Amino acid sequence: MSQPMNHQWRLKNRPVGMIDETDFTWHQEAVRSPENGEILIRSVYLSLDPTNRIWITDMPQYMEPVQVGDVMRGMAIGVVEASENENYAAGDIVSGMWGWQEYATVNGNQVTKIPSGLPVPLDAWISVLGATGMTAYFGLLDIGQPKEGETVIVSAAAGAVGSIVGQIAKLKGCRAVGLAGSEEKCNWLTDDLGFDAAVNYKTDDLHGAIKAACPNGIDINFENVGGKILDTILTQINMRARIVLCGLIANYNSDEPVPGPYHFAQLLMQRARLEGFIILDYIPQFPKAIAEMATWLAEGKIKYRVDKVQGLKEAPTAVNYLFTGRNIGKLVVQVSDLPS
Amino acid sequence: MSQPMNHQWRLKNRPVGMIDETDFTWHQEAVRSPENGEILIRSVYLSLDPTNRIWITDMPQYMEPVQVGDVMRGMAIGVVEASENENYAAGDIVSGMWGWQEYATVNGNQVTKIPSGLPVPLDAWISVLGATGMTAYFGLLDIGQPKEGETVIVSAAAGAVGSIVGQIAKLKGCRAVGLAGSEEKCNWLTDDLGFDAAVNYKTDDLHGAIKAACPNGIDINFENVGGKILDTILTQINMRARIVLCGLIANYNSDEPVPGPYHFAQLLMQRARLEGFIILDYIPQFPKAIAEMATWLAEGKIKYRVDKVQGLKEAPTAVNYLFTGRNIGKLVVQVSDLPS
């Protein structure tokens, strides 16, 4: 049989400000057959994440930046089409970092097999049971150390991570407050996900709105955004508050140095702890967390939503939705059909 | 016998920028005799600390601000002149927060008796065995968690806290690097106190100078200053660095909102932990720490220096030395003679 063609998005130049399709090259090449321990994967879902924007800058970061000319990096899920690796067979579902391409021919040791035993849809594995769900789980529980009765406020709460953070906070007996950018998102948080309150951060009086939503102050801030939102939160933290620094998307598209929060000194006054974390460090602990999260899913205690953009061609456009606030829940590209 | 007169500095208005003597009123009143559990104390040493500047603002802070009209708050050491409290006798040495005045008549339960058994000069109790020494001890050991071989950088290193931090870091097997504002101070750190390196932060190339002094990067930053110094340090922190947020003196005299560090995002990229602390929270643990510090003093492993300004009248002028960098070591006012 003749091999299909593979399409890729390759980085053409480092974007200035928001990503533009012209920052990438749409590259076509023949799919390469696997050899010596390799497998051929057909991508099904490609994860779009705020951190994609970091990877294509040359700022100091937690992994090597993507180099100009390389296939854009990204987490994906796909189906094994052909295998020259004894650990994989055609039809297996795998996840890995093969990036923005329709097919990938990679060594089997570069991917992880998705367990087949759990009764969850495939899109759970790129969202609530994937890196973003794990980010919510370990960030809140390990860094945030929530205690019953505390108030947890999460920014970008209608996003892939934030929406899970608030629900886990509720499961731990906390008051969960979400910040999001539209009434539709706020309603989703309170009506569907069980957040105690949601604040539209586009309100005129952000300080007053947060105060009303957090009458006992803020014990934990799960921070995805930074900028003005973090600054306002810092004025309302309680003694020994914890700031789980997960992301700073307010900064990622800036080409100017961005000042840190003006109320930085509140971290001193309130003896607060602010701690950055990167989910890659927790990979060895994923299996136990996935098992617990899957139980919560099965019991209906955690809900998730996946926002699917159709076709790899859309990836450079769609990744900006993370910064403009267009998506609700986890943003992915559906690269090809689900395996039957 | 006729009672002596007491002089006090009372807050007249909240200073704008640097403190001026006209922000206080020099008040004279008769010393009041103690009654019902009270003691009369004659101040010997008054501690001047950067946090004094915070107390006279109305910003949110870790204690109630000093109110206009009140005697200025301050930590002091003095000798009991008369006692109507069975736990105290004339001649006892006590410490407490009776503030900027020559005499104080207070309830005995508001002060702490200085142990008489240790062979240390009285000025040790207002410096290395007092709040500033304890700040160095608990900030570095409890918040910083130094491990052998790590690099510890401390700002305001020739100050009361910083000079002790570096010496404890050395005792724990770390590389100790100090930042100070003059060659004289830098020489004191390296030649007398045993710091591995000292950097004059007034150099043209602060980034390069810190890099040369910390060839393996920075694991712990004991931060007393903030502003540009903290910002430069953040660009050189190692993975899982700890920022011990002890003070932000670069901010205290500002009447404009001060931006947080521009390289704030490095806390995320390096999975760093930044934690504020206030020494008051550690008071119950002081005795054990004082015992250990006194042992180090006796063994010559820790040295300290007390910079003494003569006369309470000088307090409003001298407190600015903390911000202009004029003092070396612990800054105190000698209010009256040592007890014989």
CATH no. for residue A67?
A: 3.90.180.10
Does residue B250 sit in the same domain as residue B122? no
A293 within a domain of the structure (yes/no): no
B322 within a domain of the structure (yes/no): yes
Q: Does A276 touch chain B (CB under 8 A)?
A: yes
Give pTM, 2 decimals: 0.91
Does residue B113 sit in the same domain as residue B202? no
Spell out which residues of chain B touch residue A264, defining contact as CB-CB under 8 Å.
226, 248, 258-261, 264
Does residue B144 sit in the same domain as residue B244? yes
Q: Which of A161, A207, A268 is most worth mutating to test chain B (most B CB atoms within 10 A of its CB)?
A: A268
* Helices (H), ranges, chain A: 51-55, 131-138, 162-171, 183-187, 206-213, 227-234, 249-252, 266-269, 286-298, 315-318, 321-324
B98 within a domain of the structure (yes/no): yes
Does residue B179 sit in the same domain as residue B57? no
Does residue B179 sit in the same domain as residue B117? no
Does residue A260 sit in the same domain as residue A142? yes
Checking DSSP bridges between strand A273-276 and strand B273-276, what pairing results, if any? antiparallel
B205 within a domain of the structure (yes/no): yes
Spell out which residues of chain B touch residue A161, defining contact as CB-CB under 8 Å.
none
B295 within a domain of the structure (yes/no): no
Q: Which of A264, A267, A278 is most worth mutating to test chain B (most B CB atoms within 10 A of its CB)?
A: A264
What whole-number distance in Å separates Cα of residue B168 and Cα of residue B173? 9
pLDDT in tens, A289-316: 999 999 999 999 999 999 999 999 999 9
Q: Find, in chain A, the residue whose alpha carbon is nearest to that of B246.
A: A268
- Type and span of the H or E element at A106: strand A103-107
Does residue B235 sit in the same domain as residue B318? no
Does residue A152 sit in the same domain as residue A261? yes
Does residue A26 sit in the same domain as residue A54? yes
Does residue B192 sit in the same domain as residue B142? yes
Q: How many CB atoms lie within 10 A of CB B54?
A: 22
Q: Does B271 touch chain A (CB under 8 A)?
A: yes
Instruction: Number of A to B CB contacts under 8 A, please give it.
Output: 107
What whole-number distance in Å separates Cα of residue A297 and Cα of residue A112? 21
Task: Mark yes or no for CB contact A271/B269 under 8 Å.
Answer: no
Number of independent structural domains in chain B: 2
A299 within a domain of the structure (yes/no): no
A80 within a domain of the structure (yes/no): yes
Does residue B120 sit in the same domain as residue B139? no
Per-residue tens of pLDDT for chain B, all 340 residues: 566 899 999 999 999 989 999 999 999 999 999 999 999 999 999 999 999 999 999 988 888 999 999 999 999 999 999 999 999 999 999 999 999 999 999 999 999 999 887 889 999 999 999 999 999 999 999 999 999 999 999 999 999 999 999 999 999 999 999 999 999 999 999 999 999 999 999 988 999 999 999 999 999 999 999 989 999 999 999 999 999 999 998 888 777 778 889 999 999 999 999 999 999 999 999 999 999 999 999 999 999 999 999 999 999 999 999 999 899 999 999 999 998 7
Task: Mark yes or no for CB contact A269/B245 under 8 Å.
Answer: no
Which ipTM score applies to this complex? 0.88
Structural domain of A199 = 131-280
Residue B291's contacts (CB-CB under 8 Å, 6 or more residues apart) are: none
Q: Does B329 touch chain A (CB under 8 A)?
A: no
Q: CATH code at A245?
A: 3.40.50.720
Taking Cα atoms as reference points, which of B72, B69, B9, B2 lies closest to residue B31? B2
B326 within a domain of the structure (yes/no): yes
Spell out which residues of chain B touch residue A246, defining contact as CB-CB under 8 Å.
268
Task: Mark yes or no for CB contact A264/B268 under 8 Å.
Answer: no
Spell out which residues of chain A touch residue B248, defining contact as CB-CB under 8 Å.
264-265, 268
Does residue A142 sit in the same domain as residue A199? yes
